[in-house]
């Protein structure tokens, strides 16, 4: 008797000839989902980068007017609203592409808010109150790199990974490899939103021009790092990968996080003078390159699977 085949996405029985990819079995519906090319996601990723650059440009133009306002609660409120702009851009971009390539909005929002909550409740308290990174990581470049990778990067990367792995990853709605990048980036933007709100509220109001740059840098960086862990999650769900695959993804994201964060700090200063625009340029390059590479790898893998003679 032939054992019943079970779809790895919906856990339902597979009727007829089984369709397989990467050693995993799919029902016909989820096989089609797993092998389609979602070109709209490229547009959404590009929209995040371009939208944040335009956001910074608009903040520079409005800075004289905003800066003329009296400090205090009003300026803090304006800063808090600025901190929410990257999330609005990200979610709007996916909402627009969602019209033709649906992704459950409740799942996307849930992962975003979970990323923000984990940052506030776990990530930043560990970094600031338990490991007290700011008190000892400034001694040398080597120590900053160690702290950036082994403490800050490891904590942030694991939490954005957990926001996806232990929620939507187990849902039938996670039905494409590229979904890992989508949900991972959503968790990363959620984490960045908490960082940005904390920055604004701790300062009690900020220079809008400088704040916009810092807010955009954090969003681009965190989306990139979490997108890397999301890539590994997407491959793990739809391909038979070894036990070290997912830990390797978190470690790679932590390494990228630490190195880029330290680099942002270094190039964000020119001697004793702060030059935050340099950080924005680097963050934009990192985010654009990261998403381009991840999506290119995904598309190349899909093309190989669709090629004549490929295992199906």
Whether residue 311 lies inside any domain: the answer is no
**pLDDT-wise least confident of 105-109, 129-133, 219-223:** 105-109
* Mean pLDDT within 62-75: 62
pLDDT score for 2: 47
pLDDT digits (tens, 9 = 90+) for 276-291: 788 888 888 898 899 8
Whether residue 261 lies inside any domain: the answer is yes
Together in a domain, 18 and 130 = no
pLDDT score for 48: 80
Together in a domain, 179 and 294 = yes
**pLDDT-wise least confident of 1-10, 165-174, 250-259:** 1-10
pLDDT score for 158: 98
Together in a domain, 139 and 210 = yes
pTM of the predicted model over 0.95: no
Together in a domain, 84 and 28 = no
Together in a domain, 17 and 164 = no
Whether residue 217 lies inside any domain: the answer is yes
pLDDT score for 32: 66
Together in a domain, 91 and 193 = yes
pLDDT score for 22: 63
Position with higher pLDDT, 24 vs 148: 148
What is the percent of the chain where pLDDT is above 70?
78
The DSSP secondary structure of the chain, one letter per residue, reads: -PPPPB-TTT-PBPPSS-EEETTEEE-HHHHHHHH---THHHHHHHHHHHHHHHHHHHHHHHHHHHHTSPSSHHHHHHHHHHHHHHHHHHHHHHHHHTTTS---HHHHHHHHHHHHHHIIIIIHHIIIIIS-HHHHTTS-HHHHHHHIIIIIIHHHHHHHHHHHHTTGGGSTT--STTHHHHHHHHHHHHHHHHHHHHHHHHHTS--HHHHHHHHHHHHHHHHHHHHHHHHHHHHHHHS---TTHHHHHHHHHHHHHHHHHHHHHHHTEETTEE-HHHHHHHHHHHHHHHHHHHHHHHHHHHHHHHSTT---
Q: Contact, 89 vs 51, CB < 8 A?
A: yes
| 189 has pLDDT over 50 | yes
Whether residue 240 lies inside any domain: the answer is yes
Together in a domain, 23 and 87 = no
Whether residue 312 lies inside any domain: the answer is no
Whether residue 28 lies inside any domain: the answer is yes
Together in a domain, 26 and 126 = no
Together in a domain, 25 and 140 = no
pLDDT-derived band at 12 (thresholds 50, 70, 90) equals: confident
Together in a domain, 63 and 102 = yes
- How many domains does the structure of the chain reveal? 2
**pLDDT-wise least confident of 40-54, 152-166, 179-193:** 40-54
**pLDDT-wise least confident of 99-113, 159-173, 233-247:** 99-113
Whether residue 81 lies inside any domain: the answer is yes
| 264 has pLDDT over 50 | yes
Together in a domain, 239 and 260 = yes
Together in a domain, 31 and 43 = no
Range(s) of the domain holding residue 264: 38-306
| 184 has pLDDT over 60 | yes
Position with higher pLDDT, 227 vs 209: 227
**pLDDT-wise least confident of 64-68, 137-141, 207-211:** 64-68
pLDDT-derived band at 98 (thresholds 50, 70, 90) equals: low
* Mean pLDDT within 80-102: 75
pLDDT digits (tens, 9 = 90+) for 17-53: 667 766 677 776 766 666 665 655 667 777 788 888 8
| 311 has pLDDT over 70 | no
What is the percent of the chain where pLDDT is above 90?
36
Mean of pLDDT over the chain: 82
Whether residue 215 lies inside any domain: the answer is yes
């Amino acid at each position: 008797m032939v054992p019943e085949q079970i779809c790895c996405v919906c856990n339902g029985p597979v009727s007829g000839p089984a369709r397989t990819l990467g050693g995993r079995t799919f029902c016909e519906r989820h096989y089609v989902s797993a092998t389609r090319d979602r070109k709209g996601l490229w547009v959404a990723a590009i929209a995040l980068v371009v939208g944040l650059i335009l956001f910074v440009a608009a903040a520079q133009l409005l800075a004289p007017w905003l800066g003329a306002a009296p400090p205090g609660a009003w300026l803090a409120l304006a800063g808090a609203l600025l901190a929410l702009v990257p999330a609005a851009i990200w979610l709007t971009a996916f909402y627009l592409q969602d019209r033709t390539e649906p992704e459950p909005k409740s799942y996307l929002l849930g992962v975003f808010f979970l990323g923000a909550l984990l940052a506030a409740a776990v990530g930043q308290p560990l970094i600031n109150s338990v490991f007290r990174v700011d008190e000892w990581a400034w001694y040398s470049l080597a120590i900053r790199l160690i702290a950036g990778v082994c403490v800050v990067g490891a904590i942030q990367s694991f939490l954005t990974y957990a926001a996806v792995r232990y929620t939507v990853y187990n849902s039938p709605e996670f039905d494409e490899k590229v979904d890992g990048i989508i949900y991972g980036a959503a968790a990363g933007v959620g984490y960045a939103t908490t960082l940005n709100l904390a920055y604004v509220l701790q300062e009690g109001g900020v220079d809008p021009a400088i704040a916009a740059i810092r807010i955009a840098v954090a969003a681009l960086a965190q989306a990139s790092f979490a997108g890397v862990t999301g890539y590994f999650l997407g491959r793990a769900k739809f391909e038979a990968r070894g036990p070290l695959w997912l830990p390797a993804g978190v470690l790679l994201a932590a390494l990228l996080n630490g190195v880029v964060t330290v680099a942002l700090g270094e190039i964000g200063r020119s001697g004793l003078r702060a030059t935050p625009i340099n950080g924005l340029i680097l963050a934009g390059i990192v985010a654009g390159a990261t998403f381009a590479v991840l999506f290119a790898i995904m598309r190349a893998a899909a093309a190989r699977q669709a090629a004549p003679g490929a295992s199906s």
